[in-house]
Structure 1
Amino acid sequence: MKNTISQRVADFLKNFPPFSFLKQRDLELISEQITIIYKEKDSVVFAENEETHNSFYVVHKGAVALRGNHENEILDMCDEGDIFGLRPLIANENYKMEARTYEESILYAIPISVFKPYALENKAVGNFLIESFASNTLNPFSKSHRGKLYGEESLEADTKLLDLQEVKYSKKIVSCIATTTAKEAAEIMRHKNVGAILVVEETFPIGIITDKDLRNKIVTGEFQITTPVSEIMTSPVITYPTKMTVTQAQIAMMKSDISHLCLTIDGTSNSKAVGMLSKHDVMVSIGNNPAVLLREIKRAKKFKKIKQIRASIIHLLQGYLDQNIPMTLITKIISELNDACTKQVIAIVLKKTETSPPVKFSWLALGSQGRSEQLLLTDQDNALIYEDVPEELEAETKKYFLELSARINKGLFEIGYDYCPAEMMASNPNWCMSLSDYKTKIHHWITNTGKNEVLLSFIFFDYSLSFGDTELVNNLSDFIFEDVKANPTFYIHLVSGALQSQSPTGFFREFLLEQDGAHKDFFNIKNRALMPLADAARVLILSHSVKSISNTAERFEKLAELEPNNSELYTACAYSYKALLKFRTKQGLLHNDSGQYIALNTLSKAEKIKLKSTFKTIKELQEIIRVRFNPSNIL
């Protein structure tokens, strides 16, 4: 007769990770060893610095607050299905936080000795426990956990891009046996429309015949058409494992001067053949290589062609995410390709324009593209700066560049970038001006520090040059930094603006959702998670007068160098930002949109835990800014 209590425990646990990764029978065995604990409100489960228990805990009903030593601050709130107290399972040291019931609660105490074997044997269970443990620490991206969240494994800096891509191969093997005649083999190849046929004994490859073999050995008359394939096949077969990169496949074919590879289970001819790889397959894979795509972009003569290449870039992005390539490398590659698309659109427009630009100009990427963080196709954010001209030529010059900008914006729209709803585009007269006019406008923003002025000024700390004259951009950058130094009050307003970013979660660690509008009840990952980090990075990097870095993660990495005492936090922020960007990108690709708004009911418990773990740095980061600059003293 089944233990009904343990059965109910198992039925509850199977709905939550990591228990959902276990087999039902294993879960039932574990449940038989679980202790059910009742705790009144405000009861201590374990205290800070207390020796670890022999169990970790799952909240069945109620809520448990995890508190740090800083004014008894609540660092985390665990509710139904959440696990806590994992330190004895992961690290052999005393508890670093206090766990106290926030309300009347029922807990399941799971013995470490019972559960540990499952964590060691089941990779999904082990990974989830590591992530959960890290998400309940003060710094989820600390050195001890770094590289275990969101798959941000490190790669050598000189990793070749081709080596990152697995080659695609055919799993539909066309084969025959040794006694098949050359004529029969040729008919099979023609019917299947393939250039090679594998000769097998049972499922093991013993030889291969290609079009080249038929030409050289049969058509020449060297062998009769009725000859068994065993006499004309190439043997032994050169075999490789299925996990091959494009470069490895190319090298293998060049090394043996062959056009086809046979792929087997263990990479030897003594195991089952599972795939065939041809030179054509390799060339198709190379077509999605960034170096090849970059060359194709530069050769494109029409917007339609660039749009087709943009589709390949998205395919490449999806492949990189599937292969778990680090976000640092992904953003560099995709940003470079996106930038190349913009450059080529401008080049095509200029070539079609009857008159050359009257003076030097620069096309600026703003917003996420300016920070090299635009991975998905979003709306346009751009501006154009042109060289100063005499007053009598200003109207005519501006007219020329506005018309040019309109054609460029249209071209960008045709390759997939929507028009900016706020018209923050170079075709807008407010974003197409001479260098002097930009300086006048930006000076007005800096010396008239209203909310709108501060928000607009953010844009000109994140831009990057997409096309045109470098000196114009450097001139404007120098002016902005000098003007900010001369107006310290503005910087405090800038700080205040960064602190206005909304929190990702409420008091009970629940996601704060949109309250109205088209995205009501959705989570805005851009405004509530990414932007608080981006705004803080901008403010802090400006305080060190660093103007050559616009990428948010790179700003945090530079700050870690500049402020060794805060190195751990800034490094955590860089990892958090990349993790959030990866999460948004995956959501965008999944739903074919910008990924900005996320329906939480589509996320698993594990995904929510991973997402929340990235939020922990935001509050601490904003507190550093608040204490360091104390904007309340001036505003």
Structure 2
Amino acid sequence: MKNSIAERVSDFLKRYPPFNMVKPKNLRNIAAEVTIMYLEKGDTVFKKEDPSHEYIYVIRDGAVGLHYENGEVDEIMNIHDTGDVFGLQPLISKDPYQLTATANEESIVYAIPVNLFQSVTDNSAKIQKYLITAFASNIYAPYTSEVADKIFVDYLPNRSEDIVNFQTANYTEKPITCGVRSTLKSAAKKMSLHKIGCIIVVDSDKKPVGIITNSDIKNKIATGLFPIETPVTNIMTSPVITGKKDLTVANGQLQMIKNSIGHLCITKDGTVNSKLIGVLTHHDVLATLGNSPTVILKEIKRAKQTKKLRAARLKANGLLKSYLEQNIPISHIINVISQVNDAVTARAIDLAVKKMDSPPPVSFAWLALGSQGRREQLLFTDQDNALVFENVSKAQYKDTQSYFLELSRLVTGTLNKVGFEYCEADMMASNPEWCKSIKEWQEQFKHWILKPDQKAILLSSIFFDYNCVYGNQDLIDTLTDTIYTSLSETSLFYKYLGSDAVKSPSPLGFFKQFLVEQNGERKELFNIKSRAVMPLVDSARLLILSKQIRGVNNTYERFERLAQLEPENKELHESCAYAFKALSKFKTKQGLLHGNSGKLIDLETLTKEEKLKLRRCFKPIQEIQEILKIRFDLKNLI
């Protein structure tokens, strides 16, 4: 005879994670052993410091609150409702409970025997991953290093799959070499004999000092620039770019992209100061991956028309989608797509310069601002950019600025056709306000810093995250010097930045519900960008500027650097870095799924598991904002 109660329990459980991952037969066995608990409001399931029970708990109806109790302190950490799992301590360790579980209203709770549950789920990596995340989301100290790596386990490569990108690269061992005193003729004979496209030049200690490729021979010998008997040191490319012997395919690929090379020397310690042991080629990477951003970058650099540039950038979206599906770490994805975006911008500028009636009258630099300036722009979003040109006389200024404004209109027009929308606030280099000489920009930043107001702070959130993607880097270095000199002269600017960074409270309300938009077309939608991503971006910017740290623009890299600079807050900063990467990945997935920026989310479309992950990401936000309030004395400005 069928157990109708067990069937009803099974039908309920299979709708929620992690039970929707359990095989039907095993789920029925679990349901048959469930104990049904009826709780009145205020009834306690377990208390802090109680020994672990032999059950884990699932809410059938009602709500159960988890409280942190310490003397007179009784803080609500979370409120669980229908389908939520709590009391997972016995699955993780046999330590006492760290929180107290009390019915928030009349409730029905299923108690599931731990031993039975473990016997049918121990071999499921997916279930274990979910349970670790759920446990980490409910403990009182969410920043402990013991669980930090486990919390975001699903944002790392899936260890049950063979993700080729993170295998050790298969480089060529015992590469063909020649000495520094060799002639090009003898080196070329070796290349021909061994049918290879490059040869490494080494010193007497077998350390790599240079590389010669077929392209070098074609461009420097065949053209008559050097005789065939010339020493190899005259035409070799030096210094070489090196990597360690345990280099992954992904890191090797990234090194090639960053340095625009097709060969990577593998040495004993990863530097030019140790013995050469191998060489990794672009062909080796392609043979492993089958698809490479290097190919996309080449297409971008060769594009002579906007439609070709757009086609190449659209391929990067396919690569982005593929990387996300393979669970490639978001940090690597960000690096690759950032390289692509910068290359698209640089090529758009090249094409624009060719369309102008004359060459640029003076040197200039193109700045990517905002998310591209932070190297965090994964999807097609709007443009934020500026142009800095060399100082000219007052008489020449108007004509010089007019030239660069026309150039900027061509560039922004091309980027728009590629897929990057125009900035609604017109924060683009085609606006005279954002196209100035280095002297004018220096005065502008001094004014923003030394005489801050709300407008200055609004613009600072865009203009203090910049990256030179084209042109004269010296101009940008000069501007950076001015910024940090001005910052050292005031503390008021930090207060204004801090006030802006804490204006958006934690994305969760008092009862841990998501705070959604209340009016207009966005009503009932959750803005993950303004409520979760930007508070972390703003906090990282303020803290890194206050430390006078240059050249670290990416938000998660800023938090990682802060973790090094502030050992006392190491776990919090690392937690913020993890949260930012996880939120970026979630937002990008939503954007690809719905064909938009991913910043507005309909919570009804999310699973319990997805909501759990999001809640876990929100926990560091309130903590980092509290630190800002204290450190920058924001009470009088908030």
Query: TM-score over 0.5 for the alignment?
Result: yes
Q: Does the 8 Å contact 2:22/2:121 carry over to 1?
A: no
Q: What is the SS of the residue equivalent to 2:146?
A: coil
Please state how far the C-alpha of 1:381 moved relative to its aligned partner: 0.8
Please state how far the C-alpha of 1:519 moved relative to its aligned partner: 2.4
Q: Does the 8 Å contact 1:161/1:289 carry over to 2?
A: no
Residues 289 and 402 (structure 1), Cα distance of their counterparts in 2 relative to 1, 3 Å cut = same
Please state how far the C-alpha of 1:437 moved relative to its aligned partner: 1.9
**Deviation string for 1:149-194 (max 9, x for gaps)?**
25233799xx99977799xxxxxxxxxxxxxxxxxxxxxxxxxxxx
Aligned partner of 2:562 in structure 1 is 559
Query: Superposition pairs for residues 353-364 of structure 1, below 5 Å?
Result: 353-364=356-367
Residues 321 and 400 (structure 1), Cα distance of their counterparts in 2 relative to 1, 3 Å cut = same
Aligned partner of 1:93 in structure 2 is 95
What is the CA–CA distance in structure 2 between the aligned matches of 1:26 and 1:319, rounded to whole Å?
A: 34
**Deviation string for 1:571-624 (max 9, x for gaps)?**
111111101101111111111111111112221111111111111111111112
- What stretches of structure 2 of length at least 5 have no aligned partner? 170-247, 251-282
Q: Does the 8 Å contact 2:628/2:634 carry over to 1?
A: no
1:72 equivalent among 70, 74, 79: 74
1:472 equivalent among 450, 471, 475: 475
Please state how far the C-alpha of 1:18 moved relative to its aligned partner: 1.0
Please state how far the C-alpha of 1:7 moved relative to its aligned partner: 2.6
Query: Could you tell me which amino acid in structure 2 is paired with residue 114 of structure 1?
Result: L
Aligned partner of 1:330 in structure 2 is 333
Q: Does the 8 Å contact 1:150/1:579 carry over to 2?
A: no
Q: What is the SS of the residue equivalent to 2:8?
A: helix
2:624 equivalent among 617, 621, 624: 621
Q: Does the 8 Å contact 1:139/1:572 carry over to 2?
A: no
Q: Does the 8 Å contact 2:157/2:327 carry over to 1?
A: no
Q: Does the 8 Å contact 1:151/1:326 carry over to 2?
A: no
1:371 equivalent among 367, 370, 374: 374
Query: Could you tell me which amino acid in structure 1 is paired with residue 97 of structure 2?
Result: Y
Aligned partner of 1:191 in structure 2 is none
Aligned partner of 2:513 in structure 1 is 510
Aligned partner of 1:485 in structure 2 is 488
2:594 equivalent among 591, 603, 609: 591
Aligned partner of 2:410 in structure 1 is 407
Q: What is the SS of the residue equivalent to 2:136?
A: helix
Q: What is the SS of the residue equivalent to 1:121?
A: coil
Please state how far the C-alpha of 1:394 moved relative to its aligned partner: 1.4
Q: Does the 8 Å contact 1:87/1:95 carry over to 2?
A: yes
Aligned partner of 2:321 in structure 1 is 318
TM-score, normalised to structure 1, is 0.78
What is the CA–CA distance in structure 2 between the aligned matches of 1:528 and 1:164, rounded to whole Å?
A: 37
Is 2:502 the partner of 1:499? yes
Q: Does the 8 Å contact 1:140/1:614 carry over to 2?
A: no
Query: Could you tell me which amino acid in structure 2 is paired with residue 127 of structure 1?
Result: K
Query: Superposition pairs for residues 526-565 of structure 1, below 5 Å?
Result: 526-565=529-568
Q: What is the SS of the residue equivalent to 2:535?
A: helix
Aligned partner of 2:236 in structure 1 is none
**Deviation string for 1:259-290 (max 9, x for gaps)?**
xxxxxxxxxxxxxxxxxxxxx9x989978411
Is 2:145 the partner of 1:118? no
Q: Does the 8 Å contact 2:157/2:163 carry over to 1?
A: no
Q: Does the 8 Å contact 2:389/2:436 carry over to 1?
A: yes
Residues 41 and 327 (structure 1), Cα distance of their counterparts in 2 relative to 1, 3 Å cut = same
Aligned partner of 1:108 in structure 2 is 110
Please state how far the C-alpha of 1:60 moved relative to its aligned partner: 1.7
Please state how far the C-alpha of 1:432 moved relative to its aligned partner: 1.1
Please state how far the C-alpha of 1:367 moved relative to its aligned partner: 0.8
Is 2:17 the partner of 1:17? yes
TM-score, normalised to structure 2, is 0.77
Query: Could you tell me which amino acid in structure 2 is paired with residue 126 of structure 1?
Result: Q
Please state how far the C-alpha of 1:43 moved relative to its aligned partner: 2.9
What is the CA–CA distance in structure 2 between the aligned matches of 1:363 and 1:91, rounded to whole Å?
A: 55
**Deviation string for 1:501-551 (max 9, x for gaps)?**
243121221111122233222111111111111111111112211121010
2:443 equivalent among 440, 444, 460: 440
Residues 64 and 528 (structure 1), Cα distance of their counterparts in 2 relative to 1, 3 Å cut = same
Residues 286 and 85 (structure 1), Cα distance of their counterparts in 2 relative to 1, 3 Å cut = closer
Q: What is the SS of the residue equivalent to 1:405?
A: helix
Q: What is the SS of the residue equivalent to 1:385?
A: strand
What is the CA–CA distance in structure 2 between the aligned matches of 1:94 and 1:246, rounded to whole Å?
A: 44
Aligned partner of 2:227 in structure 1 is none
What is the CA–CA distance in structure 2 between the aligned matches of 1:404 and 1:534, rounded to whole Å?
A: 31
Residues 516 and 578 (structure 1), Cα distance of their counterparts in 2 relative to 1, 3 Å cut = same
Moved over 4 A (4+): 139-142, 159-166, 282-287
Residues 24 and 445 (structure 1), Cα distance of their counterparts in 2 relative to 1, 3 Å cut = same
Pick the structure with greater CA Rg.
Answer: 1
What is the CA–CA distance in structure 2 between the aligned matches of 1:440 and 1:517, rounded to whole Å?
A: 40
Q: Does the 8 Å contact 1:46/1:100 carry over to 2?
A: yes
**Deviation string for 1:454-478 (max 9, x for gaps)?**
1211223211111111111111122
Aligned partner of 1:214 in structure 2 is none
What is the CA–CA distance in structure 2 between the aligned matches of 1:326 and 1:246, rounded to whole Å?
A: 13
Please state how far the C-alpha of 1:444 moved relative to its aligned partner: 2.7
Query: Could you tell me which amino acid in structure 1 is paired with residue 127 of structure 2?
Result: V
Q: Does the 8 Å contact 1:138/1:616 carry over to 2?
A: no
Please state how far the C-alpha of 1:429 moved relative to its aligned partner: 1.3
How many residues align? The count is 522
Q: What is the SS of the residue equivalent to 1:632?
A: coil
Q: Does the 8 Å contact 1:155/1:326 carry over to 2?
A: no
Aligned partner of 1:29 in structure 2 is 29
Residues 30 and 316 (structure 1), Cα distance of their counterparts in 2 relative to 1, 3 Å cut = same
Query: Could you tell me which amino acid in structure 2 is paired with residue 23 of structure 1?
Result: K
What is the CA–CA distance in structure 1 between the aligned matches of 2:566 and 2:529, rounded to whole Å?
A: 27
Aligned partner of 1:606 in structure 2 is 609
- What stretches of structure 1 of length at least 5 have no aligned partner? 167-244, 248-279
What is the CA–CA distance in structure 1 between the aligned matches of 2:298 and 2:288, rounded to whole Å?
A: 15
Aligned partner of 2:49 in structure 1 is 49
Please state how far the C-alpha of 1:54 moved relative to its aligned partner: 0.9
Q: What is the SS of the residue equivalent to 1:534?
A: helix
Q: What is the SS of the residue equivalent to 1:72?
A: strand
| Coordinate RMSD, CA, aligned | 2.7
Q: What is the SS of the residue equivalent to 2:598?
A: coil
Q: Does the 8 Å contact 2:300/2:347 carry over to 1?
A: yes
Query: Could you tell me which amino acid in structure 1 is paired with residue 35 of structure 2?
Result: T
Is 2:411 the partner of 1:422? no
What is the CA–CA distance in structure 2 between the aligned matches of 1:117 and 1:491, rounded to whole Å?
A: 55
Q: Does the 8 Å contact 1:288/1:312 carry over to 2?
A: no
Query: Could you tell me which amino acid in structure 1 is paired with residue 490 of structure 2?
Result: N
Q: Does the 8 Å contact 1:335/1:375 carry over to 2?
A: yes
**Deviation string for 1:559-579 (max 9, x for gaps)?**
110011111111111111101
What is the CA–CA distance in structure 1 between the aligned matches of 2:298 and 2:163, rounded to whole Å?
A: 17
1:397 equivalent among 400, 412, 417: 400
What is the CA–CA distance in structure 2 between the aligned matches of 1:570 and 1:387, rounded to whole Å?
A: 39
